[in-house]
Amino acid sequence: MKPRKLIVFIAQAITVGLALAFLITLFWPGILQRQGSVEVREVTENSAGTASGPVSYAAGVDRAAPAVVNINTAKVVTVQPNPLFNDPIFRQFFGRDLNSPRKRVETSLGSGVIFSDQGYILTNHHVISGADAIQVFLRDGRSAPAKVIGSDPETDLAVLKIDLKNLPTITLGHSERVRVGDVVLAIGNPYGVGQTVTMGIVSATGRSALGINTFENFIQTDAAINPGNSGGALVDAYGNLIGINTVIFSQSGGSVGIGFAIPTSLAKGVMEQIIQYGRPLRGWLGIEAQTLTPELLEAFGLKKGTEGLVITTLYRNGPAHKAGVEPGDVLVAIDNKKATDAREVLLTISAHKPGDHIKLELLRDGKPLTVDAVAAERPATRPRH
């Protein structure tokens, strides 16, 4: 073959090969991948998180901060004298007045959130508990004495009222839509230094079984929350209220990045009932239960795998007792929902109003039983019989 023809032939072969490779790559890309190769997904300009986040949260703060107030409380306490002052010798030399009880005023600080232009403020129960006088200070410099409308120790919430005009109010967000990783801002009065804003993210939602309150459904955040922040606002990046700051986990008393807020989905309902009735109205059946364990299954002669809660405590003449429930019964469902967690059952019962009918599906001696109990109002204290 002549050199010229050879060169033409080689050029044609290369062209055909490249064309074939292009077609294979276009229509069958997997054929050319080497065995053991790894596909990775790289970020694109459209999916980059930095492209959508705000540079500043000042607009959200401007929207929410005017409705966050500082709360100062005062309480008169009686101080008992030292028992040594009862000694006749002390009384002879230092006078009889040493043996008299003395009174002093204790003050504390907290925060609150204005919910209504009528002057209703939501804060924590522990902020105002036992206070003889409460003074509220607004961001605009105004102040006013506050009246306690009602409080709820079981959720650590309280409602105050002040008489001022042209009050700023908070905008409620949807706490049930909050996701882990969302940016949040905590606004309050830490250590009495004045209104302060800190930033963090939502670390967790639905925190419960912490032993803090009877009813727990906390939003956890790493936004700095310190003493004085209690009762203040936890807002989203746009200034919408999603929670009431309540408590921190700390050995030193300062923030370590584990704070908890009561979600607005819970706080709003409690506030509305306090305003309407002076207290929250919750259903109560007069039972206590615990989760079935393998040992309890064996003790009650139940089949392995049986799910439910065993009734360990029954209040005499309570709604459940009147409906025919007995100690040792196994609660397998309530209102047609499986009963596997005692706290969830408590929340389900409490969500009912007094007078509501609650369906209980039980096992007694291994046999199914259904009873209809009429909820009573959950008492503040429940003496056992």
pLDDT at 304: 77
Write out pLDDT tens, residues 366-381: 889 999 999 999 887 5
Q: Which of 152, 156, 222, 329 is catalytic?
A: 156
Name which residue leads in pLDDT, 41 or 216. Answer: 216
CATH superfamily of the 171-277 domain: Trypsin-like serine proteases (2.40.10.10)
Identical fold at 66-161 and 171-277?
yes
What confidence tier does 365 reach under pLDDT thresholds 50, 70, 90? confident
Write out pLDDT tens, residues 295-322: 887 777 777 778 889 998 899 999 999 9
Non-local (6+) Cβ contacts of 250 within 8 A are 256, 258
- For the segment(s) 66-161, the CATH number from 2.40.10.10, 2.70.240.10, 3.40.50.300, 3.10.105.10 is 2.40.10.10
**Burial letters for 142-177: b for 16+ Cβ neighbours within 10 Å, e otherwise?**
eebebebbbbbebbbbbbbbbeeeebbbbeebebee
What's the CA angle centered on 136, arms 130 and 140, to 5 degrees? 165
* pLDDT surpassing 60 at residue 247: yes
329 annotated active-site: no
What's the CA angle centered on 185, arms 181 and 191, to 5 degrees? 130
Rg (CA), the chain: 32
What is the mean predicted confidence (pLDDT) over 191-207?
92
Instruction: Please give the Cα distance from 355 to 332 (Å, whole number).
Output: 22
156 annotated active-site: yes
Q: Which of 108, 111, 125, 126 is catalytic?
A: 126
Q: Which of 28-37, 239-248, 280-289, 321-330 has the lowest mean pLDDT?
A: 28-37
CATH superfamily of the 283-377 domain: PDZ domain (2.30.42.10)
Q: Which of 151, 203, 230, 350 is catalytic?
A: 230
Mean residue pLDDT of the chain comes to 83
pLDDT at 89: 57
Instruction: Please give the Cα distance from 357 to 73 (Å, whole number).
Output: 42
Please choose, from the candidates 144, 176, 180, 140, the residue with its C-alpha nearest in 3D space to the C-alpha of residue 160: 144
Please choose, from the candidates 169, 136, 380, 199, the residue with its C-alpha nearest in 3D space to the C-alpha of residue 280: 380
Domain boundaries, the chain: 66-161, 171-277, 283-377
pLDDT at 49: 45
pLDDT at 50: 47
250 annotated active-site: no
